[in-house]
Amino acid sequence: MPIATPEVYAEMIDRAKAGKFAYPAINVTSSQTVTAALRGFAEAESDGILQVSVGGGEYASGSTVKDRVAGTRALAAYAREVANGYGITVALHTDHCVKENLDSWVKPLLALEAEEVAAGKLPTFQSHMFDGSTVPLDENLVIAEELLELSAKARTILEIEIGVVGGEEDGHEAEINDKLYTTPEDGLATVRALGAGEKGRYLTALTFGNVHGVYKPGAVKLRPELLGEIQEVVGKEVGKDKPFDLVFHGGSGSSAEEIGIAVDHGVIKMNIDTDTQYAFTRPVVEHMFRNYDGVLKIDGEVGNKKQYDPRAWGKAAEAGMAQRIVEACQQLRSAGTKMA
């Protein structure tokens, strides 16, 4: 199946960790961005992850409807139908659910997936993220424990965030300061609360200066070596090498060296959104500028239907986004590693 089963998703994570590569996790907001992401993975011969944010789910349901659950599941249904043609395997994930959105988004999704599993079906999504960076660590881990139990019933994997990612995403903002660096003590508290897999598998976003969006050089101080320090300290406590399956948030604009160090320390998933948004939009801008007299009915003229047909500029947008995803696969070393 092109959409990973729970067992295949676990295998994907294990393969990435053992092979020291990571999967690009691409935020999608429409059928067209889903298609662009699938194309990018296929051209790179890489498996990957498609993820939906709460804002992306609302947008997909219709900008005047904003039903985050319906829109999120609709994107998953579209991906499930069209992924058959691409020859790669993808996992479906929901991204950055803060505490105030749990009851209206991730918990209903988990409840629906638990019903699917109880009926002998596969869960729609393979993983969901709880972003506990907006609450104290103790509260973060209490909520994560509850969600880990719900995730196990739904045969999904939980992703948690230990630390704070700076910048803005989906209306949530965090300052760029010392809180952007997870400590080894935070890592120990996490494994003591959630275990090392015996309570259910989870992915961990440890922060090392990560910031959403793109900033000028020097504005963001990434310390990917911190991941290795935390893995070593926690590994000694649980008797396991690189105990955390790590996630790199705020990956847009990172250098190849920073990405490589993070992957070497156990990162198996890197979120990419800002860069792919730009890569999707930039070709559309060029099309409109170059063909302005065709896409606009100027001075009573009729324009050029072939130029304002959404498929004309949509193909360019898809190709631009796919090209950026190929680049991400190469940086993350997942290119050429597809399971299919």
- The separation between CA 94 and the C-alpha centre of its own chain, rounded to angstroms, equals 7
pLDDT at 139: 97
User: Residue 200, annotated ligand binder?
Assistant: no
User: Residue 93, annotated ligand binder?
Assistant: no
Indicate whether 338 belongs to any domain.
no
48-58 in b/e burial notation, b at 16+ Cβ within 10 A? bbbbbbbbbbb
Task: Name the catalytic one among 47, 95, 170, 245.
Answer: 95
Tell how strand 157-162 and strand 202-206 pair up.
Answer: parallel
Indicate whether 265 belongs to any domain.
yes
pLDDT at 15: 98
- The count of other CB atoms within 10 Å of the CB of residue 130 is 25
State if pTM tops 0.85: yes
Indicate whether 132 belongs to any domain.
yes
Judge whether 282 and 319 are in contact, CB under 8 Å.
no
Indicate whether 340 belongs to any domain.
no
User: Residue 89, annotated ligand binder?
Assistant: no
Give how many domains the chain has, as a whole number.
Answer: 1
pLDDT in tens, the chain (340 residues): 799 999 999 999 999 999 999 999 999 999 999 999 999 999 999 999 999 999 999 999 999 999 999 999 999 999 999 999 999 999 999 999 999 999 999 999 999 999 999 999 999 999 999 999 889 999 999 999 999 999 999 999 999 999 766 444 555 444 444 567 899 999 999 999 999 999 999 999 998 887 755 555 455 678 899 999 999 999 999 999 999 999 998 766 678 898 999 999 999 999 999 999 999 999 999 999 999 999 999 998 999 999 999 999 999 999 999 999 999 999 999 999 999 7
Q: What is the CATH number of the domain that holds 265?
A: 3.20.20.70
Indicate whether 53 belongs to any domain.
yes
pLDDT at 172: 46
User: Residue 274, annotated ligand binder?
Assistant: yes
Residues paired with residue 48 on neighbouring β-strands, in sequence order? 90
User: Residue 259, annotated ligand binder?
Assistant: no
Domain that holds residue 281: 6-332
Indicate whether 218 belongs to any domain.
yes
Q: Has 95 been annotated as catalytic? A: yes
pLDDT at 167: 45
CA dist 216 and 128 (Å) reads 31
pLDDT at 44: 98
Indicate whether 86 belongs to any domain.
yes
198-224 in b/e burial notation, b at 16+ Cβ within 10 A? eebbbbbbbbbbbbbeeeeeeebebeb
User: Residue 250, annotated ligand binder?
Assistant: yes
Which of 167, 180, 166 is CA-nearest to residue 223?
Answer: 180
pLDDT at 40: 98
Indicate whether 222 belongs to any domain.
yes
